[in-house]
Structure 1
Amino acid sequence: MTNKGIWLAYETTKEQIETIKKIAPQFEVIKGWDKTNELDFPLDDIEIIYGFKGQRSKELMESKNSRLKWVQGQAAGVDFLDIQGLKRNKIVLTNGSGIHSIPIAESVFGMLLTYTRGIQEAIKNQQTSTWNQTESLMEINGKTMMIVGTGKIGKEVGRIAKAFNMKTIGINSNGHTVEFIDETYSQEELKKQVCRADIVVNILPLTSKTSHFFNDELFDSFKDKTLFLNVGRGPSVDSLSLIRALENGKVGFAGLDVFEQEPLVKESPLWNREDVLITPHISGIAEHFKKRLFAIFEENLKAYVANETLPLNVIDYEKNY
């Protein structure tokens, strides 16, 4: 009988590999993170992929002999994967939702405080040994933060916001309540409610409904000098609309970790704006990433070998998240 394989497409520790072998002894474990184009195992006999980022996707999706049944994504976002191919082949997709909650939430407040407490300007002045005391700094205490996308990251952002004594407003698909969020509204109500926010944090996934979600019409509904932070998906914000909002004063500061095109092109006017802070898509990076991603996979693997429904982070192909 042909062996069944688990392809480890993401670097995995010796201890984690032993855990996999203990849970699923009937599978051959393939260490494939450093050889994504060549595997010492038949591609068609791989049943599970861990840390999937689309490697050899075309072959997997088009092969009539593929035994692939489940892929564990490496990231929370799945918009860059062949969703239609996975759906067509009835392959279960799970993502890394939740593993980024703490570092991304910390990055949100890092970017925010860099602006409100004058740290960004101080770093710039330090390069020229310039002592420049400003008198126009802000407190975030008591401010209203709108969190657009109240999943696991949004909830963690809300938790930290409460420590700063901030009022929190959440936006999600249907307005359901979320812990640490004072008020919640549906996406359809965002335009009406956004004028109440001093700070808007975008944490939206990328779907057909959220592409260029932040556009001229929405930015025009902001109150003047709103602080805007984007740690969701780059294409959910129309870059040209954001630049116009910065120029007309609707956005007073933008902290941006994600962009429509990455890397951000050198010609982008965003690079040279003093009211913009750019980080190179690093908000989700932290030392516990591997441990947290594997914890999701381990729990799901136990269910998989027991022929049970996977309990964590299963993607709904109708919503793409």
Structure 2
Amino acid sequence: MVFFSFFATLKLKGGLAMKKIILATREFRDTYVKQIEKDYQFLVYRKDQAIDWSQVEITIGWKPEWKDYLLTEKTNLKWVQAISAGVDTLPLKEFAKYGIRLSNGSGIHAESITDHLLALLFMENRGIFQAIQQQRKQQWSPNTIPYTKLSDQEILIVGTGQIGQKLAQALTFFGVSPIGINTSGHEVAGFDKTFALSDLHACAKTADCVINILPLTEETTHLYDAAFFAQMKPSASFYNVGRGPSVDTTALAKALEKKQLAFAALDVFEEEPLPENDPLWLIENLLITPHISGHTPHFQKAFMAIFLANLQQFLAKQELEKNEINLDKGY
């Protein structure tokens, strides 16, 4: 069981005062809680629990029902450490209004998502996806299974952050010269070339595989629409491990059915869980995985490496060392 010091106190001139609170959405192991409780009272949120909201200075994660208590003129909340990399579901405008800093879990999932994408690329390029389909039909048709060499592929990675860089590094090892897309087109280590987001359609015309790893913002919502898929080669593929609403899934479904592109793999969706009656399930040249690409062994260790480094810097200088989010940009 996690140890909670509900009555932890700080010695102050003139008497005793309660420690400030770090409020978390989930439990963490004792070894991490003890490090936190040197300076704070650590609480795991439960709806039936009495909380002195005026003492909450930091949260690990966020719950929508906290808004009425922590996003007010009287708030003492100074920092939210998001558990995930994506922050599009958080009230960023309110955080900015009340001067609340935000950091995320970016980087924790980079290796896992890279492994997932490499598995997809090899499965597709070696015809394993088609072989699985043939096995289900008890067919032996080796001459109908397409195969390509990964190092011959032009792979376009849309999003050159930590995950994109990790993937580019791995692809380079396998002889690929990865091309990156970011907001401005600035150079990023590990990419053979980089282009601005405004060049996305032009780059899609020659790409053999387009991989989306972008965060969700107003600009990236339905970024991949019918006009985008119309630019892709009929032999090309599209993967999304970023955010579901970046893809107009109706447009993607139509493009796959019309063979405007050969294959797609989606790990994230506009609606999750994906409903049982969703037509996406029945598309033969689409692979669906249930938002598992970021599943990471030893998650707590990796997450706490970020949080505790940030906490140390926050206590010393009221600053964050890692993964601070620009609240205006959303990433």
TM-score under structure 1 length normalisation: 0.92
Cα deviation, 1:76-107, whole Å, max 9, x if unaligned, reads: 00011111221222111111111111101111
Amino acid at match of 2:159: G
Alignment of structure 1 residues 63-212 onto 2, 5 Å: 63-126=72-135, 131-134=140-143, 135-212=145-222
1:6 aligns with 2:22: yes
Could you tell me which residue of structure 1 aligns to residue 6 of structure 2? none
Q: Structure 2 vs 1, CA of residues 128 and 250 (structure 1 numbering), >3 Å: closer, same or farther?
A: closer
Cα deviation, 1:157-212, whole Å, max 9, x if unaligned, reads: 11111122112110001111112110001001111222121111011110011110
**Structure 2 counterpart SS, 1:211:** coil
1:216 aligns with 2:226: yes
Could you tell me which residue of structure 2 aligns to residue 245 of structure 1? 255
Quote how far apart the aligned CAs of 1:129 are: 5.8
The unaligned stretches of length 5 or more in structure 1 are none
With 142-151 and 132-141 compared, the bigger mean Cα shift is at: 132-141
Q: Is the contact made by 1:57 and 1:82 (CA closer than 8 Å) also made in structure 2? A: no
**Structure 1 counterpart SS, 2:152:** coil
Could you tell me which residue of structure 2 aligns to residue 26 of structure 1? 39
The unaligned stretches of length 5 or more in structure 2 are 1-16
Cα deviation, 1:211-240, whole Å, max 9, x if unaligned, reads: 100111111111222111000110011111
With 55-64 and 218-227 compared, the bigger mean Cα shift is at: 55-64
Q: Is the contact made by 2:256 and 2:262 (CA closer than 8 Å) also made in structure 1? A: yes
Amino acid at match of 2:295: I
Q: Is the contact made by 2:267 and 2:289 (CA closer than 8 Å) also made in structure 1? A: yes
Could you tell me which residue of structure 2 aligns to residue 268 of structure 1? 278
CA distance in 2, matches of 1:62, 1:19: 27
With 54-63 and 229-238 compared, the bigger mean Cα shift is at: 54-63
Q: 1:288 aligns with which of 298, 316, 323?
A: 298
**Structure 1 counterpart SS, 2:291:** coil
Amino acid at match of 1:20: I
* Count of aligned pairs between the two proteins: 314
Q: Structure 2 vs 1, CA of residues 219 and 129 (structure 1 numbering), >3 Å: closer, same or farther?
A: closer
Amino acid at match of 1:97: S
